[in-house]
Structure 1
Amino acid sequence: MKTFTRALLALSIFAAAGNVLAEGETTTPVKAGSGTINFTGTINNDACSVEGAGTNKTISVNMGEVSIKDMGTATAPKGSGTLSAENFEMKINCNAGTKVAMLFEPNSGKGSGLVTGTKVLKVIDGLGAAKNIGIALLDSNGALIDLSSSSTAKIESNLQDSNASLKFSAAYVTTGSDPKTAVAGRGDATLPFTLQYE
């Protein structure tokens, strides 16, 4: 009987100690794993945006498949009147009354650069890339946009309402002194732009 009483007394002491710990919670919890949440992003105060530019502010222009014989040159993109060009439009949404300019920056870090001594965009070098070929950027009137300087690679617009559409076309051109030196292949290029506003 004494053993039973001692056992009952011991259980009572453990139960009382458990209640004290539960009320005060002085024990340290055991970790079952840990980690970190990283948040990234940028906050801006842009007065303008470009429709269809996607999350990376990228616009894709599919130039299709073009024959070298149908191309003009870096100085005469329209060639003999046959122009194989891809038309595209950039819709800009701004605060009403905003004066905005679009500045093309072919030589910035992400740009593919210019063909040396020309006003046209260079195609990206690499395995299977076309040689002695560039891309001419043309305005809405079909005139060549000179990408060789920041003053001539700038398109200005004064928005009377909140939207404007800038129309362009792009054409592959031969860039060598002799068009026969052009070599067929991939014709990819990258042309960064910046919207500047007052």
Structure 2
Amino acid sequence: MNKISASVGMAIVCAAAMGTAQAASENGTIQFKGAISAESCYLDSSIGDANSVIVNMGTVNSSQVGTVAAPHFTTGAGLSTADFNVVCKNDAQVSLTLKAPQAELVAGNQILRVNNGVKGEGYAQNVGVAVYSSSSSSTAYDLSKEKLLDTQAITAGQSVNVKFAAAYVRSGGQDVAPTAGVANATLPFVLEIQ
């Protein structure tokens, strides 16, 4: 009975709305974008796709941004972790190496610039992203050459797990406070398959 009443009530509301307003229509499109890969090994992540990992850094208060040597790893305050698998269809030896370009790095290759260094209103300043083996580590990776995954053998149909932690860190020095704004970064890597 309740389902019928709700349906009848909704029909009356819709009929009344249509009787008092002019109908308008707008044409639109739905776009589907992607690609099909034939690589023998690929990434399997709940967030990302076959060749990328998305790390949601969230919104962090500028007072909660630590330094490379003392990152703030607290829930919702500069901590984000990645947990994904490298899956191989055939037997393979795989490794995963970080490959940030020098122009995007500061502080001995341990801090990735945000927003490609764009300055201006709406963009965070004096902050970057550092990557660590875990949230209990204070040793940041060298983002130009560090291996997230040392060479490992993977049997056909099997996978190996890769994890890391990331934090927003001060890039303008310990005493230079970060400014608020968008803080996005992209860290290239190479998945080597042998």
**1:1-198 correspondence to structure 2 within 5 Å:** 46-52=39-45, 53-54=48-49, 57-78=51-72, 84-95=78-89, 97-107=91-101, 113-124=104-115, 125-126=117-118, 127=120, 128-140=122-134, 142-143=136-137, 144-150=139-145, 152-161=146-155, 162-198=158-194
Displacement after TM superposition at 1:85 (Å): 0.6
Bigger Cα Rg = 1
Displacement after TM superposition at 1:83 (Å): 6.6
Deviations 1:135-188 (A, max 9, x none): 1111146433423542x3453142454111111111101122243432111110
Any stretches of 5+ residues in structure 2 without a counterpart?
Answer: 1-34
Identity of aligned residues (%): 26
Displacement after TM superposition at 1:47 (Å): 2.9
Give the residue type in structure 2 aligned to 1:46.
Answer: E
Judged with a 3 Å threshold, the aligned counterparts in structure 2 of structure 1 residues 139 and 178 are, in CA distance, closer, same or farther, namely: closer
Classify the secondary structure of the residue corresponding to 2:63: helix
Give the residue type in structure 1 aligned to 2:179.
Answer: V
Judged with a 3 Å threshold, the aligned counterparts in structure 2 of structure 1 residues 142 and 46 are, in CA distance, closer, same or farther, namely: farther
The structure with the greater share of residues assigned to strand is 2
The size of the alignment, in residue pairs, is 152
Judged with a 3 Å threshold, the aligned counterparts in structure 2 of structure 1 residues 106 and 84 are, in CA distance, closer, same or farther, namely: same
Classify the secondary structure of the residue corresponding to 1:179: coil
Mean CA deviation greater in 141-150 or 116-125: 141-150
**Is the CA contact (8 Å cut-off) linking 1:90 and 1:167 kept in structure 2?**
yes
Q: TM-score, normalised by structure 1?
A: 0.63
Q: CA RMSD in A?
A: 3.3
